[in-house]
Chain A
Amino acid sequence: MAALRLDLSVALRTFRLQLALETERETVAIVGPSGAGKSTVLRAVAGLVGAAGTVEVNGHDWSSLPPERRSVGFVFQDYALFPHLSVRGNVAFAGPPGDVLERLGIEHLAHARPRELSGGERQRVALARALARQPDVLLLDEPLAALDPHTRDAVRVELRATLRELGLPTLVVTHDFVDAAALAERVGVLVDGRIVQMGRADELIASPATPFVARFAGGNVLHGRARRLGTLTSVELSDRTVVTSTDEAQGVVAAIVYPWEVTLARALPADSAQNHVRAVVSSVVPVANRVRVTVGAVTAEVTAESAQRLQIKEGEVLVATWKATATRLVSL
């Protein structure tokens, strides 16, 4: 008996959301682009939207229950804190607060109003309120999206620890693969109402089922035509650049390269790597202690130190390098 078993079908505006999913007491992330129906999954489990099919929790069928009789802890994207109630009032609305304020480190905010709180504090209050309900299932809708980047990193770590400790069947919806990978044991990629791939985050990165999954996981997706040459496959891209891979494929493919597997140099290096792309740097974006550099069609991620050492600037010509083993091919 699964802790949470879903078999849902909901008509959305332009497509139908269809989802079958079984989870144990673990966190499953549902990722996908906006409008893929991610939030609808959570709303269907909570009973906020009508759905055909079944929602079964610990063997109990919830399908015909109204929202208030489904034991869910729902953390909404903007947290949906009641503006007229204090932090304690918000939490107590769900049930006796017990020690949940202390556990989440917000007891000192008990009498504050939501509008007086920072983003991170609101997130914790929303979680505390959801937990005060003593839910059988936890539903988190973009729990980190409303936070600024700095707070976000800290809250992500904190939330991950909390979810592990709670051990509840949890569904997290996010559009950010990094958040999904950090928070969830399993990640499902939802596109146009269907899960296109479900697995551990590292599995999705290692063998993306579609170019979309790869791009979502942060990879460069290069479209071209594959030809087998001996033990390798060479892919000719539309701009005539040739990319080499160890994967076997024929015909139209997507070649996937992850930014952290691409190195940068000022001159063509004399190394064992098969792939070298010499092109103009079109953007340089710092991300935390790394820098994302786009060279031609390929984005590389290098440390801030390396970027400084190379003195990378937009408009200069650099060589991006990666190995044939780092080029995954997906037939289209």
Chain B
Amino acid sequence: MSLLAVFAAASLTAVFPGIDRAPRFQFGGSDQLAFQIRQGAPADVFASASPKYAQQLHARGLCSKPKVFATNTLVLIVPRANAAHIRSVYDLRRRGIKLVVGAPGVPIGDYTRTLLARLHLRSALSNVVSNETDVKLVVAKVALGEADAGFVYRTDVKPAGKRVIQLALPATVQPTVKYELCIPTKRKHSQLAARFVREVLSRRGRAALKAAGFGLP
């Protein structure tokens, strides 16, 4: 078993093990993973759902220069039953809609707020019933039907299966969602880590990412 520890954004949960099964993966909110690395957590690779956290670590000398390896887009999901009859993102202004989003500071949360601002839909934030700490929790609450709608990455829709319906958003308002890889410094397995990064950037890795719905840089 490889001793390689890969800390990756929650939205990569379904795709990374398909590229390489060997490492120990820890998936979570990118902000929390970055925090843990700052605290000295034993991460050999960091895959962030936002350039912000990888760049922050790099600026502090805590990891190598980040490389963009994937992009993503946001979608609006609703439960299959769609009891709230949400047909488009503009329905989110209606009172009483239960909207679940990522918390501010969590990449999906920040992207969601950027998107809503570009749509002039900040009023929809008053319908937020929960600020979740990572995107998987947003998906779970919509998939269970507890929430009426939620903003998630396009790549989260497929794992949720038939329980959710995806509503597309105008391409013009999409924030730039870039995934970046970097290799934390002062770790023993930097060679293995470099190999894992190469694998993700390889043709096979890119194909896996694409199949999962990611965009490629």
A contacting B, Cβ–Cβ less than 8 Å: no
Contact residues of A with B, CB < 8 Å? none
